[in-house]
Every structure is written in C-alpha cells, then in structure tokens.
Structure 1
Amino acid sequence: MEITAKSVITCPECGHAKEEQMAANACRFFYQCENYYSILKPKNGDCCVFCSYGSAPCPPVQQKRNGC
C-alpha cells in the first residue's frame, strides 16, 4: 500500500482545514491554526497532530499499519 505524503488538518476549535505536507520519517507535535491561531497538540495516545486531526496519519504510523 502506498504511503500518503499529505494530510488535511482540521482545527477542532474553528473547523478550519488546510492540506499540509508531512515529513517522511518524523512526527509533528505542534501545529498552529491559521484561522483561529490555536496551537494544536496530539491527543492522548497519538504520536502527532496528523494522527489526531489529519485526514491521514503520519508516514511512520502508515508504515507500521502496512507492515513495513
């Protein structure tokens, strides 16, 4: 299965959504909403903001799910 390199992050505070490029081998711990200016942090149990608020999880998690 192919690894997705982009994810749409949706702010839980205001609903603003934006497509962002994900790093291939790293997790992103903080993200600032361009509309509401809130700082998003991962939910408990998630490794990054893409896993918590994105349309696709980060590449390292995708790789684990694919058995890589």
Structure 2
Amino acid sequence: MDVILESTITCPECGHQKEVEMPIGACQFFYSCANCGTLLRPKAGDCCVYCSYGSVPCPSVQQGNCAC
C-alpha cells in the first residue's frame, strides 16, 4: 500500500484550506491555521490534527501502526 503524504487541512473556525505534507513516523498534535491563527488540536479519539481535520489520515494510521 502506498502512503499518501499530502493532506488538505481545513480549519473548523474559518474554513481555510491548506495542502500540507505530513511527517513520517511522528504524529503532529498542533497546527496553526495560516488564515485565522486558530491552534488546532486533535479531536478526542484521533491521534493527530491530520486525522481530525485533514483530507487524508496520517501516514501511521494509513500503515496501520499508529502508536499514539
């Protein structure tokens, strides 16, 4: 299975979308919206901001080995 590294994060506050490259081997717990500055944190039960607000889950979840 190929891992997708590009994800589009959508800010829940202002709706701004930005395509970002996700890190491999680490979960990202915080992301600051480039438009309004809102600091995003994972929703309950999610390991990172990509799983909560991204168009694609993080690489660890895609590979089935998320240790978060």
TM-score, normalised to structure 2, is: 0.92
How much does 1:2 deviate?
1.2
How far, CA to CA, are the matches of 1:23 and 1:37 in structure 2? 21
Secondary structure, in 3 states, of the residue corresponding to 1:61?
Answer: helix
How much does 1:24 deviate?
1.2
Aligned to 2:14: 14
How much does 1:4 deviate?
0.3
Q: Which runs of 5+ in 1 are unaligned?
A: none
Paired residues for 1:1-68 under 5 Å? 1-64=1-64
Cα deviations by residue, 1:41-60 (Å, 9 ceiling, x for unpaired): 00000000000000000000
Cα deviations by residue, 1:14-66 (Å, 9 ceiling, x for unpaired): 0000001111111100000011100000000000000000000000000008x
Counting aligned pairs with the same residue, the percent is 60
Q: Which runs of 5+ in 2 are unaligned?
A: none
TM-score, normalised to structure 1, is: 0.92
How far, CA to CA, are the matches of 1:34 and 1:64 in structure 2? 30
**Alignment coverage as a number of residue pairs:** 65
Secondary structure, in 3 states, of the residue corresponding to 2:60?
Answer: helix
